[in-house]
Structure formats: structure tokens, C-alpha cells
Chain A
């Protein structure tokens, strides 16, 4: 009783990445598209982001998360792209057979000609940080709390400490304050904040919420519900400085300590991952190490701004369309990108050699904070471009554009590096 159907393109995940990729693929002529989403609605993380700040770059106006998602959901529907909700993809095979399950259709398989991975990411938890102490109720990841507060309308607590200054934590500091809770502090282990500067200003400064840099939570108290946390200052090596411990009473702790691309399916399928981004290794077409499987959005690397997710995903959509039409140019000669001095990672990981005049875009993050920095691009050790940047922080993803013709291929082992000087 095996159910198996065919599709030209299967998109896994209905967040901004999956939506944009599916729409773009349709616009480039792909007819038979199927988008699978495990949640009860489309939009990914966006429906719970009811704050402003989406689309500045792409639409030149400030939308809320749900508004931004709506633009794409409407378009998806207008284009009659088939999607299934409440449908979880369980497995992807190398030959592009997808196994999925849903309450309505049960267990089924789809044989796709191309696949786009757009599964987004998940949050790091307390367990991953091994924060010692008791394990009471009242400790949430910031995104879970955001969902509870914004979607389910359930207040999570009255007095909160936020560990980590990632964007979701900053947004939730403001949200909880507006909900009438007291946010005692945002505690950040690093000497600089993890989130966007605009969120520091709009979510903390404007509400007089203290940001304690170079601090961390060292103990958790409370038997049933959280009653308090102990925090301490840390040195450059993130070691606790003796004599700096202090207790803060609270009934809630939110964690905003990093996002991890959701790649269980990719790993199972044998797709190569970058150990730094924890997302698939991709080329400039967003194709993964497996032919015909593409990836985009937070599943590849964690983005700060949804606009870039959308752009990247359109690229994946176009590439999948070209692949289905047998028009993709992958080639023997590839240039590998290598993070140079003070660069944490670069996406894409490879560029195929090709004579088109299309621009190439590279996304990367710095390892630390730099003022008045020079970005230096080298091809096989030879300088090909220098770009000045006023300010570089790990919390803000950077990108640069290069012209194809700047990359005359040299050898099979050619490398392109970006460094900060």
C-alpha cells in the first residue's frame, strides 16, 4: 500500500525561505511544485514575530513578521503552488525520494526531480550550555517564550532574566516588559552583544533594561518554579572571576544563546555540512553536495535579516528551476572559499567556474568586533579586492559582491579567501 507520487520540485519548510524559493521556481517555469510544512500554518518563525523590522531592505518599509510572511503566502496561493500543512518530512534519500507523514494523508513518498531544503533552525538550550543548578519550571528558550506569549497568549512569568543577547532575547526583553513583567537584566557572556545594534537600542535602552556584558548565569535556584539565578562576571577566556557572584530573584529565565540550523534530515541523507555554520556546504547556486538538492535560509546559516533569507532563497528557486530544465552549470573547476583572518565562515563554500557575467555574492561573519576595518579578498593568495567597512561585529552578517570576471580560474585547487585587516 505504498503511496508514491512524483513532483518536479519539493520544498521542505514553509518559512520565508521555502516560500520565496517555491515562488521563484514557479516564476522560472517549474510547474509541479509541492511545499511541505510541519506546522499548522505557513510562515515559519515569522507569525510569532509580531514586532516591526522586517522588509526594510527588500520593500523599503517596516513590516511585522506576519505582514512580511503574508506577502509571500498570498503570492504562493495566487500562483496555485500546492502546499501541505501539518506534514512532517521524515527522510530525504539521495535519489530525491522524500518520505513524509501527516494526519490527513498518513505516510507517503514523493519522488522529486529537485529538492530545496528550507527547514530553518532551532534554539540552543540550557542543556547544551550545561548551566548547573536545579531544574525548575520557568526556563524557556526565547523563541518558545515568544510563541507562548504572542501566539498562544500565555504569559510566561513576572520577573525575568534573559541569558544571551541574541535578537530573539532582545525582542523578548521588550515584549515581556510591554506585557507588564520586569526584566531584571540581559546577561551576555561575550564583551559585545549578540544581536543587532538596532535591537539593543529599541528593545533595551528605550526600556532601561540593563545589559550586562561579560557576565553569565552560574547557578539556577528553585525546586518547583524558578526562584532566582546567580550571575557572575567572566574574563576574556569566559572564566568566572572570583568574588563577582551576585544573585537575582526571578521566576523566569529566557535563553537566547544561539540558533542551530535544523539539519538532521540533511545528515541522514549524507549531505556534507560545514562544521562552523552547521548547515550544508553549498555552491553559488545554493546546491548542496548532492546533485539536485538545494538549500536556503536559516538551514544553511543563521541570518539576522529575513530580507537576505528571501534573496538567498530566490537564488535557490532559480537554480532548482535551471536544474530541472537541465541548464545548470556545475563544473569540474571550482573555487573553494576559505575564511581568512578574523572571519568565522563564508557562504557559499564553492564557486563553479563559468564565463557568465553574473555577480557573485558572498555572505560572512567576523569573529570579533572591528572598527575601521579593511576586508581583503585574495584569489590563490593574490589580492583581488579591498573593501573598507566602518564597523564589523559578529552579530551582523556581512556581504560583498564580486564580478565573475574578477575570478579567472587558476587551477583545480583554487581558493578565494576573505580576511579582515
Chain B
């Protein structure tokens, strides 16, 4: 038996467990070196857990406690986004953030935050008077007394970025194994054997990027020194009609419950409010609650004069993977050479993700991994065309070559059949209706797939050569149609 998998399974240099932003960034950055890497993800798609449900803010970094890994990796991660997003064709906008003082008492808090920012070596911070805030943000609440402006804060499409990273990694030779939950890990003399329902995977180094499940993954090998507690955050997204309600990411002063409820435009031009902060038991519970939605609406109502409730288009929630150590846990598991945890990656995990990847690469190197440059590495990923944004000539040219780019399937976001087919056919392509939505936004608009849903389903069935009853909404058995 043993001999069997020894011979049958390829030996990877590195196995990454978890296809969230942490795992995808690491996979992509490792492509710079001549290594054989596999990214293992339990779901049908990458970026289908916390990475798809967060605020999408690239934080400036004034907020983290000085001296922590969070503070350091936030500072290092933030400036890396411009170049990487450009290479990968992912929208990123440095719109800046405003943290509001909602009362006179909070003005000193802003001062403290400013000083913390100085301690964290964050540039671009300044304090604004109430008048100055109202000048840049006319819709802001009249009670606002002052604000801290952080110029370097930005917004990004977090799942779009993770998908682009995975795709670019795959283009550069990384194996991406989906539908492969790691259920067992065993140490072998020169590495580890990971068990998944679809077979064994052998690797010399393993990096655990398992999000809320990072503790469980660690414990497949030995007791973990940290515990991950899932903390739910809920959101509401509004129609693009009100996408310009605010121009900055608008925070309130942080409290013991976290960074508080924000109001922000998204990179796609919607308005988003959230999150709250709620301890939950179940690590798969991403339901929204009446009380949670009411809480974020009420709290956000302190930041801006009116929340355009009738223009809400959807609600969602995500789970922060908070470690009881209070900081990211990025280290080799003691006693297990070559097994590295990247755990407790809660906020600002998205911002820190490129820096986390570099830190893990350093750890791998000090663990003995040889890093020789990969001369074939191509950092560029061409984004899926977005037909509506092309010039008239480009549109005509593209449609002439492939008429499917002239057939609009999602009318709210004006997404064509050509774009949907591309989203399915690319490497690490969409395998579900939500997978299509995360790649090209079909179904993300105001009608939430009411019109395009049946058509996307049909295209998926055709492209994947399955019956329509086998098409899923998202994960597992989320079949859209029932059998005859």
C-alpha cells in the first residue's frame, strides 16, 4: 500500500492548503521560483469562503497595534497592490479612508489613531475639520465633528483578485486541486502526505492557509498552539444608483468590537455597508440575521444622513478567523520541519496577503527550501474582456470575430455570452452560477440573476457538458433545478 502511493503520486515541493487570498497569493508568488507547487482547496472554486465575504478594503494601517505582525504586514502589504493589480488586470482604487469622530469626545480618539499611525510608520495621514470633511463628503452625517484622512487606503475586488492570482499561478504551472478537502496529514521522512477524497498528495513543504479551519488542519498533525474563533460580519450591498453616496471608505472610530461599521463604494460602483461583529459557533454559518442587518443599518446611519434602504440589492456575511493569540500566526509548526501555519488571518488579512506570502517564502527558505528563479515566470494575466467598457470600434471588431460578445446575457451589468464562456473556459474556470458571477459579475446587479440565471445555467451546462439538473449555484449539492 505504502509503496503504491509512493510511486503513483507526484512529489510536490510545496502543497498549499486553502484557496483563499492567503493561499492564492502564496501560490502565485512562488511561481517566481522553479518549484512544483499544488494548491489544494476543498470547495468547487477558489475564494469561496472568507475571501469572498469581507469589506474589500486595503487598509492604510494606522489601526493595528504597533509591534504586531498585523501592523507590520499591513504596512508592507498596502503599497504592493498597485503593481500586482495592474499585472493581473484586477480593479484597485486608492480612494482613501475617512475615520469619523461622531462626537466631541471622539476627537481625541482620532488623535490617538493618528499617533498610532505614526508609530506604525504610515504615511498620508491627516486630521480634517468637520467643514473639510463635509466639503469632500457632502452626504456625511451632520453630527460629524472631525475625521482622520488616510490617503493610502484603497478598495479592491477580493475574490476577483484571488481568482486572478490562482489563474496566473495555474498559467505558470501550479496545479490547482479543487473539490479536495485535506482530511489527513502524515509526516514522511522527507515531507508530508496529505489525504484528500480524490487521492494522496505528497509534498516536501506544506503551508496551512485554511482560514477558519486552520486550527483543524494543524490538528491533523499535532495539537495547535492557537484556537480560531469565527466572528461573523454582515453586509448590505446597494444599487449602483447610489454608488457615489460617499467617495472614501468611511469608518467610525474603532471600538472593542473591531473596526466598526463602514460605508464604502465598491470597485464595481455599488455602495456597501457593514460589517457588525458577532461570535458564532458554527464555522460554516454564513447566514445573515435580522438583528445583524438592523444593527449595521442603524450604525451606518450615524455616518451618513440617509441610507437608501429601498435600493438594497443583497445581504451577505463572512467569518473572521480570529486567533486567540490576537495576532496572525505565521510560523513553522514546532517540531514539524517544513510545515508552516498561516493562521488567524483575520482583518487586515486581505491587505497583508502579499506581505504574508513574502513572509512565508522567507520561512520556507530558512527551512531549507532552495529558491532558484523561474525564468519562464509570466506575471501578466489578461483580464476577461469587459465588452461594455470597450470603444465602439473595439466592440465591433470583437463581435465580428466572435458574435457571442454581441449577445448580452446579464442585462443589469451588461455582460455578454462571450464573457461568460471565457469565465468558464479559462484555467481555474467557473464551475457554478456563483463562480460565473464572481468572475464576470453576471447576476450581481440589481435583478440578482432573475433574468440571466436561467441563461447562465444553460451556458454552464453546455460548456461543461452536463445536464442542466447537474448545474449548481455554488458549492456541494446546491443544485438549481430538481430532477424530473
Contact = CB atoms under 8 A, between A and B. Distances in A.
Interface of A: 1-3, 38, 86, 88, 90, 101-107, 122-123, 125-128, 130, 132-138, 140-141, 143-144, 147-148, 152, 154-158, 218-220, 223-225, 251-252, 264, 267
B474 A137 contact: yes
A148 B395 CA distance: 31
B143 to A, nearest CB: 25
A218 B291 CA distance: 11
A155 B484 contact: yes
25 contacts: A1-B393, A2-B392, A86-B407, A101-B395, A106-B395, A122-B451, A123-B447, A126-B314, A127-B315, A132-B288, A132-B292, A135-B287, A136-B478, A137-B472, A137-B473, A144-B451, A144-B453, A148-B454, A155-B484, A223-B476, A223-B478, A224-B474, A224-B476, A225-B479, A264-B412
Interface in B458-484: 458, 468-469, 472-484
Interface string B263-298: 000000000000000000000111111101100000
B479 A132 contact: no
Contacts of B284: 223
A367 B338 CA distance: 70
B403 A104 contact: yes
Given A103-B404, A106-B400, A127-B314, A136 B473 contact: yes
A38 B408 contact: yes
Nearest to A106: B399
Nearest to A122: B447
Given A132-B287, A155-B481, A225-B477, A103 B313 contact: no
Contacts of B392: 1-2, 107
B396 A130 contact: no
Given A123-B447, A137-B472, 10 more contacts: A107-B406, A122-B447, A127-B312, A130-B312, A132-B292, A136-B473, A137-B479, A144-B450, A156-B481, A156-B482
Contacts of A88: 408, 411, 414
B448 interface: yes
B289 A132 contact: yes
Tell me which of A122, A132, A137, A157 has the highest count of chain B C-beta atoms within 10 A of its own C-beta. Answer: A137
A122 B315 contact: no
A47 to B, nearest CB: 13
A155 B449 CA distance: 18
A135 B479 contact: no
Given A107-B392, A132-B287, A137 B480 contact: yes
Given A136-B478, A137-B472, A102 B406 contact: yes
Contacts of A101: 395, 399, 406, 408
B468 A103 contact: no
B316 interface: yes
Contacts of A264: 412
Interface in B227-286: 236-237, 241, 284-286
B263 to A, nearest CB: 16
Contact of A157 (B448, B458, B482): B482
Contact of B478 (A143, A155, A225): A225
A103 B469 CA distance: 28
Tell me which of B237, B314, B472 has the highest count of chain A C-beta atoms within 10 A of its own C-beta. Answer: B314
Contacts of A86: 407
B396 A106 contact: yes
Interface in B381-407: 388, 392-393, 395-396, 399-400, 403-407
Contacts of B406: 101-107
Contacts of A106: 395-396, 399-400, 406
B399 A133 contact: no
Given A127-B315, A128-B313, A143-B450, A224 B288 contact: no
Contacts of A148: 454, 481
Given A128-B312, A137-B480, A155-B484, A220 B287 contact: yes
Nearest to B387: A101
Given A103-B403, A137-B480, A127 B474 contact: no
B299 to A, nearest CB: 15
B399 A154 contact: no
B154 to A, nearest CB: 26
Contacts of A130: 236, 288, 293, 312, 315
B408 A144 contact: no
Contacts of B393: 1
A251 B290 CA distance: 22
Contacts of A219: 287, 290
Interface in B409-432: 411-412, 414, 417
Interface string B21-55: 00000000000000000000000000000000000
Pairs of residues from A and B, 3 with the lowest C-beta to C-beta distance, nearest first: A127-B314, A103-B403, A137-B473
Contacts of A267: 241
A169 to B, nearest CB: 14
Contacts of B288: 130, 132-133
A228 to B, nearest CB: 13
Nearest to A180: B484
A9 B100 CA distance: 53
B399 A103 contact: yes
B333 to A, nearest CB: 31
Contacts of A1: 392-393, 396
A416 to B, nearest CB: 28
Tell me which of B284, B292, B395 has the highest count of chain A C-beta atoms within 10 A of its own C-beta. Answer: B395
Contacts of A137: 472-474, 478-480
A147 B454 contact: yes
Interface in B349-375: none
Nearest to A128: B312
Contact of A123 (B290, B388, B450, B468): B450
A154 B447 contact: no
A3 B310 CA distance: 40
A251 B482 contact: yes
Contacts of B405: 103
